Amino acid sequence: MGDDILGVLDAALRDSVRREGLDPVGDTHRVRRLAEQVVNEHDRRSLTGAVLPLADSREAVEVLVANVAGFGPLQKFLEDDEVEEIWINEPTRVFLSRRGRHELTSVILTAAQVDELVERMLKSSGRRVDLSQPFVDALLPGGHRLHVVLEGIARDFRAVNIRKFVLRASRLSELVALGSLTRRAAAFLEAAIAVGLNTIVSGSTAAGKTTFLNCLAAAIPGTQRIVSCEEVFELQFSHPDWVAMQTRQAGLEGTGTVTLRDLVKESLRMRPSRIVIGEVRAEESLDLLLALNAGMPGMATVHANSAREALVKLCTLPLLAGENISARFVVPTVAASVDLVVHLGIDHEGQRRVEEIVAVSGRAEGDTIESEVLFAHDGERLRRSSGQPPRLDRFERLGIDIAALLREDF
C-alpha cells in the first residue's frame, strides 16, 4: 500500500472531519464512516484508471482511522491484548513488552509524528508537558498510563512510555486460575482483607502490583467505604461505596498542584472504612503509616525486590517528610501498622506470581522489624511455611478458623 496514496486519503479524511466539525477521539464511529466513504470513492476512481488501486481497502480504512481518530502506528499495539507496554526511545526505535519480554518493533516514526502523538494523547487527558513541566503522567481513554519526558531532559527526543492496563484478573480466584498463587494462599488473603489486616503489595516494575491490589480490594466487604488515592487513575475494582482520587499537576501559572500526600490527608476527612494508595514512593508514606497506626485499615503498593526490602523501604520513605522525623519513630510505627507484605515477581518465562507472603509480628528489635514467612515460592509452586498470621483475635471475632484454613490443602 503506497504511502503517497495513503497520504492523499489521509488529507481527504482530515478535510472531511473538519467540514463535519467532528471530535476525532469522541466521534470515532463517524470518523470510520467518513474513512470508508473516502476509500470507496478512491476505489471507484481507480476503476477508471484515474488513480492507482489500493492493495487492501479494508486495511486502508483501519490505517486512516488509526491516524485520525486513534494513535497512528501505535494503535494496533494498543488494541493487542498481549502487548503490555509500549515505549519510544527515539522515533526509529519503538519497543513493546509482550508476556514480560521486550521486542523491538518495525515501526519507524519521525520526530514530528512522535510530537503529534504525544499532543493527541495529552489532549484527551487534560494534562500538559512543556519546558516548565518536562515530565507528565496521564491516563489515556482506554485506561492506559502515559508517561512522557520532554527532550532536553531526555537526550535528543521525547521519551514516551505507555503502560497498558490489561485486566487479566479482577479477583484473587482469577489469579489462582492464572497460576499466580494457590487456592490456599488466596483463601487466606481473602480472609485477611475481610478482617482488616493492613497489606502492602511489593514487587519490581511490571510485576503486576496494580492488578494484585485490584484483586485484594475486591475482597473488601461491600458494607465498607473505600477511598483510593493514585498518581493517575489505574485501580478498576468494583465496589458499591468507593471514591477514587488522583493527583493534579500545576497549571500554566504554576499553581494548583495536588500531590499524593495531599490526597492521603484529604482521604481521612472523607469517612473511609479503608484507604487504598496506588503506590507510595515519597513523603505520603508517613501519612499512610499514621493513618494505619491510628486504626484505619488500608493497603498500598511499593517498589521493592523482596518483602524484607519493602519493610526497609517503608522505614526509609517517611524520613523524606522532614528532619523532625526519625528512624526511632518510624521503625516501630511500621512494625505496629503493617500486618502483611505480599511480594510479587516475574519468572524467566514472563509469568507473574506471588513469591512470598510475609506476616509482620508487630515487634522491632533495633532497626529490624520482626516478620514470619507464611507462604514462599520454592521454584515450583507457592507453599505454606511455618510462620503464623498476626492479629488472630480479628479472625476469631469474625468466626474464621484461620488455623484450619491454613492447614487445608486445596
Kindly report, residue by residue over 302-314, the tens digit of the pLDDT. Answer: 999 999 999 999 9
pLDDT-based confidence at residue 201 (cuts at 50, 70, 90)? very high
| Co-location of 18 and 121 in the same domain | no
DSSP characters over 292-328: HHTT--EEEEEE-SSHHHHHHHHHHGGGGG-TT--HH
| Co-location of 152 and 180 in the same domain | no
| Co-location of 402 and 345 in the same domain | yes
State residue 23's pLDDT score.
Answer: 80
Q: Which domain holds residue 261?
A: 172-407
- The mean pLDDT of 284-313, rounded to a whole number, is 95
pLDDT-based confidence at residue 3 (cuts at 50, 70, 90)? low
CATH number at residue 156: 3.30.450.90
| Co-location of 183 and 246 in the same domain | yes
Between residues 183 and 408, the one the model is more confident about: 183
Q: For the ranges 86-95, 247-256, 400-409, which has the lowest average pLDDT? A: 247-256
Residue 269 in this model has a pLDDT that exceeds 60: yes
Choosing from 12, 42, 70, the residue where a domain stops is 70
| Co-location of 231 and 106 in the same domain | no
- Cα distances (Å, whole numbers) of residue 50 to 7, 14, 44, 321: 17, 22, 9, 70
Average pLDDT, the chain: 91
| Co-location of 247 and 356 in the same domain | yes
- The mean pLDDT of 28-56, rounded to a whole number, is 89
- The mean pLDDT of 41-46, rounded to a whole number, is 90
- Euclidean distance between CA atoms 60 and 243, whole angstroms: 43
| Co-location of 139 and 263 in the same domain | no
pLDDT-based confidence at residue 69 (cuts at 50, 70, 90)? confident
| Co-location of 284 and 207 in the same domain | yes
State residue 190's pLDDT score.
Answer: 97
Contact of 66 with 75, CB cutoff 8 Å: yes
- The mean pLDDT of 221-243, rounded to a whole number, is 93
Residue 21 grid coordinates: 466539525
Reading phi first (left if > 0) and then psi (alpha if -120 to 50, else beta), residue 381 is in beta
Contact of 372 with 378, CB cutoff 8 Å: no
- Cα distances (Å, whole numbers) of residue 25 to 71, 240, 268: 10, 30, 37
All residues at 6 or more sequence positions from 255 whose CB lies less than 8 Å from its CB, including other chains: none
Contact of 67 with 10, CB cutoff 8 Å: yes
Between residues 6 and 342, the one the model is more confident about: 342
Choosing from 47, 70, 93, the residue where a domain stops is 70
List pLDDT tens digits, range 97-122: 987 788 999 999 999 999 988 988 88
CATH number at residue 316: 3.40.50.300
Number of other residues whose CB lies within 10 A of the CB of residue 82:
11
- The mean pLDDT of 296-324, rounded to a whole number, is 94
- Euclidean distance between CA atoms 274 and 242, whole angstroms: 10
Domain count for the chain, please give it.
Answer: 3
- pTM of the entire structure? 0.84
Give Cα 142 to chain centroid, integer Å: 12
Answer positive or negative: Cα dihedral of 198, 266, 162, 137.
negative
- Euclidean distance between CA atoms 325 and 330, whole angstroms: 7
Phi, psi angle pair for 407, to nearest 5° = -75, -35
What is the crossing angle of helices 28-47 and 57-68, to 10°? 140
| Co-location of 360 and 215 in the same domain | yes
| Co-location of 79 and 59 in the same domain | no
All residues at 6 or more sequence positions from 272 whose CB lies less than 8 Å from its CB, including other chains: 225, 226, 227, 296
State residue 122's pLDDT score.
Answer: 87
Residue 65 in this model has a pLDDT that exceeds 90: no
Give Cα 58 to chain centroid, integer Å: 34
Phi, psi angle pair for 312, to nearest 5° = -60, -40
List pLDDT tens digits, range 346-369: 988 878 999 999 999 999 988 899
Choosing from 52, 70, 88, the residue where a domain stops is 70
pLDDT-based confidence at residue 86 (cuts at 50, 70, 90)? very high
DSSP characters over 89-109: EETTEEEEEETTEEEE-S---
| Co-location of 35 and 81 in the same domain | no
Contact of 234 with 246, CB cutoff 8 Å: no
pLDDT-based confidence at residue 2 (cuts at 50, 70, 90)? low
How deeply is 192 buried, as exposed, middle or buried, from its count of CB atoms within 10 A (0-12, 13-18, 19+)? buried
pLDDT-based confidence at residue 410 (cuts at 50, 70, 90)? low
State residue 206's pLDDT score.
Answer: 85
| Co-location of 228 and 342 in the same domain | yes
- Euclidean distance between CA atoms 234 and 253, whole angstroms: 28
